[in-house]
């Protein structure tokens, strides 16, 4: 296995500023990069704080972009997005604010799409049998959707 090479603090700051100019990163990801580059912890924290001060990195901006990307394109549910933000050590209040920006109608449409795609895979039994509905429910739950939303959409799909 290849070992990580040591990077000077000036090189690390320049690399991170360049990376942050091209894409959104959270402070946790930057700290992990600095740790892998074997930058001294005190120096690493100074670099991260400087990048925050100069607005190269902003956890609130990152959380909003992350939520938008995962909700719209990956069609994740709120629970899965919240868990992913927690793993990236985004503050709960920041994550809650970003999750609050999800459009409820678009969210329900995404859930409907997820359930319809799975129902097509399962075939005729999907909405007519208990086992089929259970499989649909579990699939949507594994994508991070809330149980009440799943139940509401499944009832609507069965009525159609």
Q: How does pLDDT run across 91-128, given as a tens digit for each residue?
A: 999 999 999 999 999 999 999 999 999 999 998 788 88
pLDDT, one tens digit per residue, over 52-82 is 999 999 999 999 999 999 999 999 999 999 9
- Which among 159, 119, 160, 110 is positioned nearest to 137, based on CA atoms? 119
CA nearest to 58, candidates 71, 68, 48? 48
Dihedral of CA 52/32/28/41: which sign? Answer: negative
- What is the pTM assigned to this prediction? 0.88
């Amino acid at each position: 296995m290849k070992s990580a090479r040591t990077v000077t603090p000036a090189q690390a700051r320049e690399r991170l500023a360049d990376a942050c100019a091209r894409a959104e990163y959270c402070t946790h990801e930057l700290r992990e990069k600095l740790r892998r580059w074997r930058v001294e912890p005190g120096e690493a924290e100074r670099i991260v704080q400087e990048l925050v001060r100069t607005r190269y990195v902003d956890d609130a901006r990152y959380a909003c972009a992350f939520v938008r990307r995962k909700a719209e394109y990956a069609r994740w549910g709120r629970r899965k997005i919240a868990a992913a933000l927690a793993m990236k050590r985004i503050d709960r209040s920041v994550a809650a604010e970003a999750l609050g920006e999800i459009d409820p109608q678009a969210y329900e449409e995404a859930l409907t799409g997820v359930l319809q795609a799975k129902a097509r895979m399962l075939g005729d039994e999907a909405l007519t049998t208990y086992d089929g509905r259970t499989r649909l429910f579990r699939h949507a739950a594994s994508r991070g959707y809330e149980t009440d939303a799943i139940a509401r959409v499944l009832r609507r799909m069965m009525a159609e």
